[in-house]
Amino acid sequence: MEDLQAELELANIEMVGVSSKKEAFVDSGILETVSEVLRKNTGDELVKTALTTAILIAYNQTQKIKEKIHEKHLLKTLTETLGKRKDLRTSAIKAILSVVRQRDKKRPGDADRLDIDLVLSDIGTDSTVTVTHVYEILLCVHNALTSAQIKKLEKRMEASLSSTDYDEKKNALLLFSLLVPRISTKNTETLETFFRRANDRNALIRILAAECIGKIYAKETLKFGKKCECCVVATLRETLNSFSRLEKEVKTKTLSIVLDFLKDSPWFQNAAVQWEMTDSLIRILKDYQEKMNESEIIVKTIKCIEAVTRWKEDARQKIFETKTTQTLNRLLAAKNTEIVEETCRVVKTLSRSGREIRSRFAEANFLPALLGLLGTGTEETKCLVCEIVANAVVSQSSPMRDTIEKHIPDLAGLADSENTELQYRALFCIKNLLYENEDGEKEKILKELTYKRLLAFTEKNTQHRIVLEALSIVRNALGGSKKLTRKVLGGIGETRLHEILDRWINVCDELAEECLYIISNVSIELLEARKAFAGKKSVQKAVLSGLRGETCEKRTPALWLVGNMAHGENETRGEIARIFTDCRVKEALEDLRRTETDVDAKERIKEALALFTPGTPAD
């Protein structure tokens, strides 16, 4: 036994601060030795030394040591020691914490090997140091706690809120915040304790208390709800306003709390604007924009700004009023990919704003930096840029379109990506560029995209959303002059177009609508193409189904198609009318004429029915 004691003591000395030695000791079987000593429970000093060895091995584990700890069931052995040696509870708890802190979270079985009941067995009488470690263990495995275990915890946690020990108080608040959804929190005395902690001398304690109050307020209907709201917002605003004087832990935690509330709490979204929290976040971002070694704070601040601007137009206005667009442009050029991605998310939110902000968006000149990222950014960044460009191009100025169209080759190239999300975003962007554009610009875009590449998405891709975007591109390309329509139809091939439409027109409502719009666009310009479309059973079925759609919006594509076929006189008009009468399209239109209430839809029904009246063209 003395030899074993000496062996472990020597190992402990050599492992302190020398992580490379740990793997060598683990390879030599030290974990097996520790487990055997703890299981046999022989000799107080030997067990204490074995627990110290376990703590040292578990501290700053390499992946190899993690695997060994899991393989040798060290966590289970340490927990069993709690049951056998209450006199060594503090050391055993500390050893368990060392293992749990760095456990492999991808391995669901790790938490199962921890007997939480034994960890909680003396929670009511544990010393401050021990209870603090217990809280830290539970913070790592809180999802595994049962209702009965939480009930046992509540009284000690409430007592810890009034503790004079900083770590005990802090960990109790952290744990309480995680468990709020599972705890009855209508106790007025407990809430008053939180209010007192929100006025604590320590900044971290204040914001943790505010977090708990905010979560309780969101969960419960409380008679003093306004007090909760004011307390949370005032505490967080004060912390943001004194940001430069705080420790990094307080800064990052404050931003995390603000972000969580902005995402999930409508009351906080309103309060953030009302209490001018956006100004504080903007000030922090400007202060830190050059401090790339503080990337965590920059990223969290950007996320908060994105969250508040996503919900509030006033906050978006503030970005432009304070010239924060200059800061955002600077951050788009950062070398840190996470900063660039999160900045893109803010710009995306700004690109979806109302008319007044859209004009300011153009003036902010984001596009040069954004379009440059199509070649250098991560795949996620490229997806975001495509979304921004797709938003920006709609109803924007010609100069903005000109800037974008210089990068059409880059956008077309993204359609070849193996990343289907990136394919989808690129196609969506190209679709918007084609919408209501000049014929010459459409031809340039289609030349870069190529018909071969475009049609590949309509033939072999199994994701309907990508097929839908490809069909939308065809639809928008065909929505030009007669000359362009003939050119596009020639590029696609009339036979190929019919095959594509047959394949997708009756698969689902969304694809059917795009197919009907394609036929409608061809029909308005090329009268001679109408009969071939009208005579197809697949088209007749889709038109009839569309006219019987549940909403006015769903009926619109079919109404446009029939109405466009009624425009102009040609020798096939009577035959098309007969075809649509035989397949009950006329009957469906007559039914709609009697029941439709929408004014615009009524006009389209009238135009469509003109097809069946000789000598009465819809135009």
Residues 496-506: pLDDT tens digits? 999 999 999 99
Summarised one tens digit per residue, pLDDT across range 293-309 is: 999 999 999 999 999 99
In the predicted structure, residue 619 carries a pLDDT above the cut 60:
no
- If residue 225 lies in a helix (H) or strand (E), which one and from where to where? helix 225-241
pLDDT tens-digit map of 398-451: 667 778 888 999 999 998 899 999 999 999 999 999 987 888 889 999 999 999
Residue 616 is predicted with a pLDDT of 59
Helix (H, G, I), strand (E, B) or coil at 208: helix
Say which residues have a Cβ less than 8 Å from residue 445's Cβ, sequence separation at least 6: 405, 408, 412, 430, 433, 434, 437
Q: Residue 460 class from Cβ within 10 Å (0-12 exposed, 13-18 middle, 19+ buried)? A: exposed
Which tokens sit at 202?
């320590």
What is the per-residue pLDDT for 276? Answer: 82
- Euclidean distance between CA atoms 225 and 229, whole angstroms: 6
CATH class as words, domain 493-618 = mainly alpha
What does each C-alpha distance from 49 to 82, 459, 463 come to in angstroms?
Answer: 15, 69, 61
> Using DSSP, how many helices (H) and how many strands (E) does the chain show?
40, 0
pLDDT at residue number 1: 61
Residue partners of 460: CB distance under 8 A and separation at least 6? none
Q: What is the pLDDT of residues 568-604, one digit of tens each?
A: 766 788 899 999 999 999 999 999 999 999 999 999 9
pLDDT of residue 605: 96
pLDDT value at residue 435: 87
Q: Which residue reads 């950014």 in tokens?
A: 377
Mean residue pLDDT across the chain: 89
Report the candidate in 60, 61, 71 with the shortest Cα–Cα distance to residue 29: 71
Is residue 541 scored above 90 in pLDDT? yes
Of all residues in the chain, the percent with pLDDT exceeding 70 is 94
Residue 127 token pair: 């010393």
| 145 neighbors 116 (Cβ within 8 angstroms) | yes
**Residue 105: per-residue pLDDT:** 63
- Among 95-99, 343-347, 465-469, which stretch is predicted with the lowest mean pLDDT? 95-99
Sketch the domain layout of the chain as residue ranges. Answer: 493-618
Residue 261, pLDDT above cutoff 60: yes
205: Cα within 13 Å, side-chain hemisphere: 22
Helix (H) or strand (E) holding 447: helix 439-449
What are the tokens at 383?
């997806």
Tokens of residue 484, six digits: 């362009």
Per-residue model confidence (pLDDT) at position 221: 66
User: How confident is the model at residue 234, as a pLDDT?
Assistant: 92
**What is the mean predicted confidence (pLDDT) over 47-76?**
85
Q: How confident is the model at residue 401, as a pLDDT?
A: 75
Please give the pLDDT value at position 41: 80
Q: How far apart are CA 118 and CA 154, in angstroms?
A: 17
| pTM for the whole structure | 0.85
DSSP 3-state helix, strand, coil percentages of the chain (rounded to 5)?
80, 0, 20
Q: What is the mean pLDDT of residues 199-222?
A: 90
Distance CA 280, CA 343 (A): 17
pLDDT (tens digit, 9 = 90+) per residue, 483-534?
999 999 999 999 999 999 999 999 999 999 999 999 999 998 888 889 999 9
**Reported confidence tier of residue 14, pLDDT bands at 50, 70, 90:** confident
Render 143-208 in DSSP notation, one character per residue: GG--HHHHHHHHHHHHHHTT-S-HHHHHHHHHHHHHHGGGS----HHHHHHHHHHTT-SSHHHHHH
